[in-house]
Structure 1
């Protein structure tokens, strides 16, 4: 499917041209229009229509920074197709520095939406009908939730060949399989015939340059893969496909000493974090349940029993972990992200003294 329509949100855009515009999605409490800013670029030749969105959760700004970098960069040209760049999708949450909408709902659980439902459902309906259904592919940029961080990774429904194509072309180095939660943009867009991937990276409320660089490179890679830009995608030689993940959770309350950072590889039985009271007594330790890669982790070291500490994706074996570690080291973009994200976590050596591992 190729969308050749040149009329977008009140603008007629000729081949080779771009336009900044906006589309109305709802009304505020003061009855003023709430609009989403968008830039539309058209290549000289026909091709696919692709959307790139950020801040679907209003506090997740790494993607916003990545899209703004693309908007400010005059050095690249779209040779074919149509590209829709939306730096902030959830403007109501963005203006409140909040993940959620004013009605306390998660917009990313409300797609495709309904015309007569809640405010969130109506907003999702307008976005879905006005934007998503007019596109052939989608890239949705995210970060970890509040008080967590993620090493940049792609998430996609790997049972869909077009999603596989986008996910591999993006070149994040880590690909997690999954359709996404019910009502999420990527799940419902893919179901509606617009294969969509998401990228998770970094923390809320900030733009981290190394994460934004991963995102911009990945967007360019996907556009090259779809022949919308000249050149070949710049992707790692190998990428880890993750089909199983597990959150390691605190067994006791206290203060966590972390022994790993985002993007680290681990082997089964390796010490991940050590928990103790505020006087560094009564320690217990969390260990890796399998060989894998650290996808994400808490940035808040104070925990209660049951709280998530480290998110690990399973790799086949220790040999796979070493191979993935070598792959990160050989890719400048991933290596820089690994180094930068590690500075946000105090990583210490695990003690060799006896520890309660319950």
Structure 2
């Protein structure tokens, strides 16, 4: 990916407002207009440390219903676990403000903001919002962490996605401390891809569900952001702010969705964050009167990166998203590390918390013995 040389805009002045060293200032950035012709404004906070240093942007809700990151940024604003010594933070709790107000992933003109970057000053409503973000936020930051969740009716085990060929993106991704890093540059038109192309290394976190603020996800997000600030020497690390990380970290190059072969109602046998063997049952698909239609098995060794939370499925619906280790040896090492995680560790707290969105039972090969008429769909 080619990176454009750029001249970074000042962090000290926004819309003719001065931000002094050591100051936190709330700002409203004009992002468009509503159907009534009134202005739509993007709330953000600029927080400067006392000393010069890097500018880190933290953004959330590029998809307007993905508010786990919004909660994490608000917690960072209201109850920061550190004192910002060097550099500055640019905190944007909601990027897609128009989608957020409608509880929608998309903008009012039915576009996906995260496929519209770098945008255009004279384009669509969505394109104009993308352009404002590129100019006013990306244009002032040295690094960005963009916070996402799974799409509607899905949940994601916390994982970082980054272009690991970019040394600065790789530095951020490893510092965050998630168990899984997915190595890719992101789709065309995505915020992180275009931010990286403009010269601002950007990674994303995928964690949890839409329209929720989940406590364990919030805690893991805050821990990871603190790790990155420590790595960038923006904060002093004390005994109370020890940068503990996951017991292992696996970089994967690919992932695969396991899909339903037929319509039916699912009973799950795995949860987010579980390791799975090739051929292991991940779900049983039944009719509405309990007749087993199929046992869905994993075609790969790997770790469950995400899964549906909706048990009613149609043929071809995605069920379980599996991150694929490069080698069998890497998978066995991952399996052993997961087994050794302490019960009270944050990683296991997240696993247990995310599993509450679904019911997980052990797979049984026994027939239920109930007689039914010769009807295949019940």
Q: Do both proteins adopt the same fold according to a TM-score greater than 0.5, normalized to the shorter chain?
A: yes
Q: Give me the whole-angstrom Cα distance separating, in 2, the residues matched to 1:293 and 1:237.
A: 15
1:78 is aligned, of 62, 84, 88, to 84
Stretch of structure 1 that moved more, 270-279 or 6-15 = 6-15
Alignment of 1:147-226 (within 5 A): 147-226=153-232
TM-score normalised per structure 1: 0.95
Where does residue 65 of structure 1 map in the other structure?
A: 71
Closer/same/farther in 2, CA of residues 172 and 74 from structure 1, 3 Å limit: closer
Where does residue 265 of structure 1 map in the other structure?
A: 275
- Cα offset for 1:178? 0.9
Q: Give me the whole-angstrom Cα distance separating, in 2, the residues matched to 1:144 and 1:43.
A: 33
**Is contact 2:264-2:293 (8 Å) kept?**
no
Where does residue 285 of structure 2 map in the other structure?
A: 275
Give the aligned length.
Answer: 355
Alignment of 1:232-247 (within 5 A): 233-247=243-257
- Cα offset for 1:91? 0.6
**Is contact 1:2-1:48 (8 Å) kept?**
no
Unaligned runs of at least 5 residues, structure 1:
none
Stretch of structure 1 that moved more, 6-15 or 328-337 = 328-337
Closer/same/farther in 2, CA of residues 75 and 284 from structure 1, 3 Å limit: closer
Q: Give me the whole-angstrom Cα distance separating, in 1, the residues matched to 2:265 and 2:80.
A: 48
Where does residue 338 of structure 2 map in the other structure?
A: 325
Describe the SS at the equivalent of 2:233.
coil
- Cα offset for 1:45? 1.1
- Cα offset for 1:8? 2.2
Q: CA RMSD in A?
A: 1.8
* 2:297 maps to 1:287: yes
- Cα offset for 1:329? 4.1
Unaligned runs of at least 5 residues, structure 2:
1-6, 369-378
* 2:148 maps to 1:135: no
Q: Give me the whole-angstrom Cα distance separating, in 2, the residues matched to 1:240 and 1:354.
A: 39
Q: Give me the whole-angstrom Cα distance separating, in 1, the residues matched to 2:269 and 2:259.
A: 15
Closer/same/farther in 2, CA of residues 172 and 75 from structure 1, 3 Å limit: closer
* 2:358 maps to 1:348: no
Q: Give me the whole-angstrom Cα distance separating, in 1, the residues matched to 2:24 and 2:32.
A: 25
- Cα offset for 1:29? 1.1
- Cα offset for 1:242? 1.4
**Is contact 1:9-1:22 (8 Å) kept?**
no
TM-score normalised per structure 2: 0.90
Describe the SS at the equivalent of 1:131.
helix
Closer/same/farther in 2, CA of residues 58 and 163 from structure 1, 3 Å limit: same
* 2:38 maps to 1:32: yes
Q: Give me the whole-angstrom Cα distance separating, in 2, the residues matched to 1:213 and 1:129.
A: 31
* 2:129 maps to 1:123: yes
Q: Give me the whole-angstrom Cα distance separating, in 2, the residues matched to 1:228 and 1:2.
A: 19
1:173-213 per-position Cα deviation (integer Å, ceiling 9, x unaligned): 11111111100000100111100000011111111101111
- Cα offset for 1:225? 0.5
- Cα offset for 1:234? 2.5
**Is contact 2:246-2:347 (8 Å) kept?**
no
Q: Give me the whole-angstrom Cα distance separating, in 2, the residues matched to 1:273 and 1:31.
A: 50
